[in-house]
Structure 1
Amino acid sequence: MDAPRFAFFGTPQLAVEILDALVAAGYAPILIVTMPDRVKGRGLETAETPVAAWAHERGITTSKPEKLDAAFIEDFKKCDINFSIVVAYGKILPQSLLDVAPMYNVHYSLLPRWRGATPVESAILAGDVETGVAIQKIVYELDAGPLVAVEKTAIGADEAAPALRARLNAIAKRLLVNIMPALASGDISLTEQEGAQATLCGKISKEDGLIDLADNAEENYRKFRAYTSWPGIYTFFKRGDKRIRVIITQAHLKGKRLVLDTVKPEGKDEMPYADFLRSGAKPS
């Protein structure tokens, strides 16, 4: 069989790891589609996405459309793509693009549970004991496409989102490589999702990281695990008349009590929580 002519839509480092696995298995995309370059940092320098940098190093044709409009789709048709793989791309795919050739998405949950942008964090927040990876054929309705492959895994009691996401991506790489011959031939078996069982998850905001230490300890610990990389969790203390924003950098659950190990008060370096309390600060 000839090498499949496929495109890859993706943006962050997570997607780069998938690309590395595909290339190592002998599957290189003929086209990369990623988010446009953005100005970032204090120097206001233009930076390309991790996926764009990966493609640039390998001389793979790359498109960075601001919009997936008619002009982009006409150019896409000229590439004679057999199918596309989508991993954390960052844009809604219009029906006119889906009509060109099949598109398959790697999703980090057991669909139909946690359709949406934050499935890893949402599984932890809900106290789910298992999650997994689902590869779906994309339809226009959000994460509602028929399933090509699914694999489950348990969520560790103390596992935080970065570690869980890394494990899920390892599963995703293996799953995707295993089904590439079927995707290339079109000889795939699709299983429709049970839409009545669907749950949704939205985007995360900075404000989501706020906790009240008087709230349920287990729920606060789930927030810590889910938001440890971003936005982080924080609370407020008072010292005299001053209100202090405090980021919780390390914590653990002991019985039914949330134990803070290290914190970072605003304007200060990270320190042991016990040292911070000696300053006279109290939860507000």
Structure 2
Amino acid sequence: MKVVFAGTPEFAAVALRALHEAGFEIPLVLTQPDRPAGRGMQLQASAVKQYALAHGMEVAQPLSLRMDSKDPQRAEEARAAHERLAGLDYDVMVVAAYGLILPRSTLDIRPCINIHGSLLPRWRGAAPIHRAIEAGDLETGVTIMGMEEGLDTGPMMLIERVAIDDGDTTGSLHDKLAQLGGRMIVEALRKMEQGQLEAVPQPEQGVTYAAKISKEEAKLDFGLPAELLWRRVRAFNPFPGAQGLVNGVAVKIWNAELAPGSGTPGQVLSADAQHGVVIACGEGALRLTELQKPGGKRLPASEFLKSFPLVGLGFS
């Protein structure tokens, strides 16, 4: 079976590796153009591109797949990509966190299957892992689905569940789901080869939308309940990283746990090696266990306090 793969970040690279190691022929890999990254803002290839090139796969990086784009360069690159796909000998396109919209013209060339990191129809959209943690969901999972023009509305082919543990962050849950997605897409294509891959429509009830995470969401409002803030700290780790202001200084909050206590929202209830950094919230309190000051390293609370004492201060 010949597979065209479309994906960009590490979540997708795990699936590409699983397909490659399972022996599927991959005549073409689509990924987003290189982006500036790091302090030097040097162009950096995506995780998918790095894996593909390291294993001798052809890579294409069109700016868009929409031939009707008003941008002449994007439209031209989309036409070239469409012609390449239309003339290519392959059986199915596998898509995982590609980041570009696949228009009808692309979907009509060959069957397209998507690896989606949620239990559809819950959390359609860009940030299903973040939003599941933020909402306090007890479980999530991976859905292998057929693609259509609607946003994550296609029929479901395989679905597996994963419990969300209290200690899970978006980073840790991402890694679990990436491994699961890699295993499941191999299983799905094996079933497709044998004519045993069935698709069922998504339920009409329970649809939610996982909006893209913005940096503006990172600032915590300590007037909110501690439990919600605890979930947001975990949901925003590793991106964009939750933060609170202390005397105008933005302090990153990477990990936290619920704690007993009450007081004025944002008040530092304790800040010592014995009790840690405990902050009063609108309801309850939050113990901050890993913090980072601007230009510093991520540190356990006890180490952070050695260079950034919080006694008598508060978060806003």
Q: TM-score, normalised by structure 2?
A: 0.82
Partner secondary structure for residue 196 of structure 1: coil
Q: What amino acid is the match of 1:105?
A: N
- Give the Cα separation in 1 of the matches to 2:289 and 2:91: 52
Structure 1 position 266, deviation (Å): 3.4
Aligned ranges 1:252-263 → 2 under 5 Å: 252-254=257-259, 256-263=284-291
Are residues 1:246 and 2:251 paired?
yes
Structure 1 position 236, deviation (Å): 1.5
Aligned ranges 1:1-284 → 2 under 5 Å: 4-68=1-65, 69-238=78-247, 243-254=248-259, 256-266=284-294, 270=298, 272=301, 274-275=305-306, 276-278=308-310, 280-284=312-316
Contact 1:31-1:63 within 8 A present in 2 as well: yes
Structure 1 stretch 168-177 or stretch 106-115: which is displaced more? 168-177
CA RMSD of aligned residues (A): 1.9
- Give the Cα separation in 2 of the matches to 1:269 and 1:181: 45
Partner secondary structure for residue 283 of structure 1: coil
Q: What amino acid is the match of 1:18?
A: A
User: What does the per-residue CA deviation read over 1:109-130, in whole Å, with 9 as the maximum and x for residues that have no partner?
Assistant: 0000000000001111111111
Structure 1 residues 134 and 270: alpha-carbon distance in aligned structure 2, compared to 1, 3 A threshold: closer
- Give the Cα separation in 2 of the matches to 1:82 and 1:117: 27
Contact 1:82-1:184 within 8 A present in 2 as well: no
Q: What amino acid is the match of 2:112?
A: M
- Give the Cα separation in 2 of the matches to 1:158 and 1:50: 26
User: What does the per-residue CA deviation read over 1:123-146, in whole Å, with 9 as the maximum and x for residues that have no partner?
Assistant: 111111111100000000000000
Indicate the percent of aligned positions where both proteins have the same amino acid. 35
Partner secondary structure for residue 175 of structure 1: helix
Q: What amino acid is the match of 2:176?
A: R
* Structure 1 unaligned spans of 5+: none
- Give the Cα separation in 1 of the matches to 2:309 and 2:80: 60
Structure 1 position 179, deviation (Å): 1.8
Structure 1 residues 279 and 203: alpha-carbon distance in aligned structure 2, compared to 1, 3 A threshold: same
Structure 1 position 188, deviation (Å): 2.0
Q: What amino acid is the match of 2:253?
A: I
Contact 1:135-1:150 within 8 A present in 2 as well: yes
Structure 1 position 279, deviation (Å): 5.6
Contact 1:144-1:195 within 8 A present in 2 as well: no
User: What does the per-residue CA deviation read over 1:236-278, in whole Å, with 9 as the maximum and x for residues that have no partner?
Assistant: 123xxxx222211332123543101242233555553655444
User: What does the per-residue CA deviation read over 1:167-201, in whole Å, with 9 as the maximum and x for residues that have no partner?
Assistant: 11222122111121223355421110013321111
Q: How many residues align?
A: 277
Structure 1 stretch 74-83 or stretch 266-275: which is displaced more? 266-275
Q: TM-score, normalised by structure 1?
A: 0.90
Partner secondary structure for residue 122 of structure 1: helix
User: What does the per-residue CA deviation read over 1:29-74, in whole Å, with 9 as the maximum and x for residues that have no partner?
Assistant: 1110111123434445332222112111222111111121233211
Structure 1 residues 262 and 80: alpha-carbon distance in aligned structure 2, compared to 1, 3 A threshold: closer
- Give the Cα separation in 2 of the matches to 1:269 and 1:10: 31
* Structure 2 unaligned spans of 5+: 66-77, 261-283
Structure 1 position 93, deviation (Å): 0.5
Structure 1 residues 18 and 113: alpha-carbon distance in aligned structure 2, compared to 1, 3 A threshold: same
- Give the Cα separation in 1 of the matches to 2:231 and 2:158: 28
- Give the Cα separation in 1 of the matches to 2:249 and 2:49: 41
Structure 1 stretch 75-84 or stretch 37-46: which is displaced more? 37-46
